[in-house]
Amino acid sequence: MRVVLAAMAVLVLGGCEIQRQIEADRRQAAAGRCLDYGFKPGTPDFARCVMQTDQAMERRDDEENYRAFESIRRSYTPPPTTTSCQQIGTFVNCRTF
């Protein structure tokens, strides 16, 4: 039981670390863009540019993820079901598979 809990904790914490790395990479990319735009690091305008660019990139990522999810959801077709019934005397047994 402890091994299972430890494994679950590692997976959850690992997922958090991956998310933090993704966010750090996105902020670094945003800072690079702002430098390319000519903003000077350490200034309020640079900070504002990084924040706004990061937010725009996050929105774009969220929209791409939503579109991908919706595409998968729309393409999903539930498997067909069949119901088979058998009567034995007054008893009816049905199975759906």
Domain hosting residue 39, numbered range = 24-74
**Number of structural domains found in the chain:** 1
Q: What tens digit of pLDDT does each residue of 46-63 get? A: 999 999 999 999 999 999
Please check whether residue 49 lies inside any domain of the structure.
yes
Structure tokens at 17: 């670390």
Q: What tens digit of pLDDT does each residue of 18-31 get? A: 888 889 999 999 99
> Which pLDDT score is estimated for 54?
95
Please check whether residue 67 lies inside any domain of the structure.
yes
Please check whether residue 60 lies inside any domain of the structure.
yes
> Which pLDDT score is estimated for 16?
77
Please check whether residue 32 lies inside any domain of the structure.
yes
What one-character DSSP code corresponds to residue 82? -
Using alpha carbons, select from 65, 53, 66 the residue that is nearest to residue 27: 53
- Average pLDDT value over all residues in the chain: 87
> Which pLDDT score is estimated for 19?
84
Residue 11, pLDDT above cutoff 60: no
Number of residues written out for the chain: 97
User: What is the average pLDDT across 10-16?
Assistant: 63
